[in-house]
A and B are shown apart, each in its own frame.
Chain A
């Protein structure tokens, strides 16, 4: 059913093979596991030792998907933007929940691989990249109980004059001898927190007066002073376990503080550019999955004496869904190429945040709109657990909030648009 509009990609045998192989994995491994995890009534089951979550995570690590965003010089997969986009769309097609797990997994080592030197590379990044048994598993500690998507605004340089209007943040790092000591709580919405061994953590620095006066560090979680809450029982993305983490006098060495002033204020937005491309792409995969489910169902389900797809109203819906999927792929791929060039190829770290944010918003919104229409085509059956479309709809809905609400993401982009013209 997939048709590649770009001949440079469609006619490239290597890329076609990459798509086919990734798709096979998404279809045979990710999707069945995601459905199983989704149906678990207690989220504790998702993170239990015997859970398929761990098997999928190990398999993804064996295939190197945890190394997509790690600098090739330090063990990264060495893919380019197009290849990354192809892999992520297919994984997202399988499930955005489990793909989120492999995405947040690499945030801390990827940042370290781009900006750090010395011990943190040898002790964290390289063994992380080499890991195929999920001995290392990362999460991304951003939001806090009193500042949720606010952190997205802080990452937009154009918003900084207004930063004092926001809560100053609760997770604080203070100098302690040669290293740092960390205190405070992160919110319940940290993807993979219940399963992670390390967190890429946003903290504020003395005098702790503003979220912009912050830093990004890597913190091993298997140490005294770290407390994790129970995984949250939620509507969608149930295969992406989320939970809170709090820190009580947790120590890290100085070189684990990866981005600090003035670079935090000036460059943390570049991380959001990367994660935004990631999110936009995986949700494009979800949109395609929902579209394919609806198209297939509409060809087989007979109503009014003919298949649903022969009804003009349904045909029109299918067209609109197709248009959204294709435009979402084109846009997120283009922005991924731009961000990749500025961050991984040229190392100028000046990717356009407004475009990256819009890629995330567009991908997520398209996924929700397509999943909504897909469920509508299924009618009553779409509401049952018998069909995948019900999960896709719930996941797409959760996506409008996860990784920054689409409203705040749009607001951050708007500050950039207005300032930069």
Chain B
């Protein structure tokens, strides 16, 4: 079981994509990177108050260089860390006190983290995932596609419990970009969810 999002999850997804012949075949014509935006919600607060999820999330953020993490300063996510948890987001991972933070998070409400977003960028290219990593706000804004939505909706997608098309069509996830291209390559989208994401069980 991996925590979403976490360094462990990213590594497992990259491995699953590399191993999946079905994904490689289905996505062999796909060209296009994604800027993904995860918006904090009630479920995010609830999950983050568990130590293992907090550790996973911090490991995810720690994949970014310090300069990138600094760019979260002044954003709602940066404010959550700085003002509500008392540690700037560019603090090195080993300096975080997990118990203290989870305790503080458990006192937060969804309202407290309203607008707090985490960004990650993935580069899908002819059946391979060339990159998947957290990024700073404003980076990769020119990505071919932008997929955004609440943490709970993201979990439904990456766990494979809901198909991407249903989440997008019911407005749980918002997809921006050439929709016609996506529709013509639905095999790749379905395989990414079914064969890659669903192959990495999340906690």
Q: Which residues of A contact B (CB under 8 A)?
A: 114-118, 255, 258-260, 262-263, 266-267, 346-350
Contact = CB atoms under 8 A, between A and B. Distances in A.
B154 to A, nearest CB: 14
A116 B186 CA distance: 18
Given A263-B179, A350-B183, A350-B184, 18 more contacts: A114-B166, A115-B166, A115-B169, A117-B162, A117-B166, A117-B167, A118-B170, A255-B170, A259-B169, A267-B183, A346-B190, A347-B186, A347-B190, A348-B187, A349-B183, A349-B186, A350-B186, A350-B187
B97 interface: no
A81 to B, nearest CB: 18
B47 interface: no
Contacts of B166: 114-117
B8 interface: no
The 8 closest A-B pairs by CB, nearest first: A348-B186, A117-B170, A262-B179, A115-B169, A266-B183, A348-B187, A116-B170, A347-B163
A74 to B, nearest CB: 11
B187 A346 contact: yes
Interface of B: 162-163, 165-170, 172, 179-180, 183-184, 186-187, 190
6 contacts: A117-B172, A266-B180, A267-B183, A347-B190, A348-B187, A350-B184
A32 to B, nearest CB: 41
B190 to A, nearest CB: 5
A260 B170 CA distance: 9
A156 to B, nearest CB: 14
Given A117-B170, A255-B170, A267-B183, A347 B165 contact: yes
A346 B26 CA distance: 11
A118 B166 CA distance: 11
Nearest to A350: B186
Nearest to B172: A117
A348 B168 CA distance: 14
Contacts of B162: 117
A380 B154 CA distance: 68
A57 B191 CA distance: 39
A223 B43 CA distance: 36
Nearest to A349: B186
Contacts of A259: 169
Nearest to B186: A348
A193 to B, nearest CB: 26
A259 B190 CA distance: 19
A116 B172 CA distance: 10
Contacts of A116: 166, 169-170
Which of B170, B180, B190 neighbours the largest number of chain A CB atoms within 10 Å of its CB? B170
Contacts of B168: 263
A350 B184 CA distance: 7
